[in-house]
Structure 1
Amino acid sequence: MPRILFICTANYYRSRFAEGVFNHLANRRGLDWKAFSRGLIPEEAPPGLSPHATNGLRLVGVAPEFFPNEKTALKDEDFAEADRVIALKQEEHEPMLRDRFPHRVSQVEFWDVSDIPHVSPPQAMLQIKENIERLLQEMGDAPQQ
């Protein structure tokens, strides 16, 4: 099964929301893809899943079985396990990726989804969901791997 990796800073909010929404919508559309998410510095955030992400997933109608597990630090092996890699904010994440995984940066697609306080959680989650809808449309139009 092909896999997509979503990366953000702490794997507390944006990347885990993306993971849950992607898995929920891909499942509903019958696409044979699975998302997972990682953080560059997950120790920077409290334990668990962000209340913003939890509420956003519920509002979107994501079934609880698609709620992501505990936050996880990004490792080199994660890149090898992913068929696509997306970091949520280029300006924020590219410097950290260049510092920690310089040999992997060319594998990463960058979105432009800002974190709090630069954008409100509802705005960020709407942007993530719209990006995922476009991504799933693209994947649905492509032959299954």
Structure 2
Amino acid sequence: MLRRLSHAMVGFSTGLLVGRISVSDVLLLSILGVLGSVFPDFDLRYAHRIALHNLLSSGLVSLGLYSVLAMAGVDTRTQILGTACFLAGWLSHLLLDSLTLRGVALLYPFSRRMYGPRLLKSGDWRGEALAWVISGLLIYAALKTW
């Protein structure tokens, strides 16, 4: 498992890129990317890498967020972009955790099989470095689109 800051940084930069947003929208949508990137670790005490480290839970929670934003009266564009940034942050978390030796249960509850290339131990400095390099590249790509 990577440190939360590394997950958050990748979520932040993913939010920047996915949103292709104006500078004024950066804060809100990047925060949603960060929240999405750390949300899967709420299962640390219960079924870690299973309960929230799968595609079904990421989709359901993202739909819930979309509904909350709609009920709050947020405009449609921001609902869509905000949900996309949240989901992109979540999926970046799953991708990064799939690199660890344990992998992630992407298809839970249909299968408990753990998926991923399983290249690194949890907490390995190479995983942390990779997360920061990915973040830098995503931020660079986002800035090029402005």
Bigger helix fraction: 2
Bigger strand fraction: 1
Larger radius of gyration: 2
TM-score by length of 2: 0.42
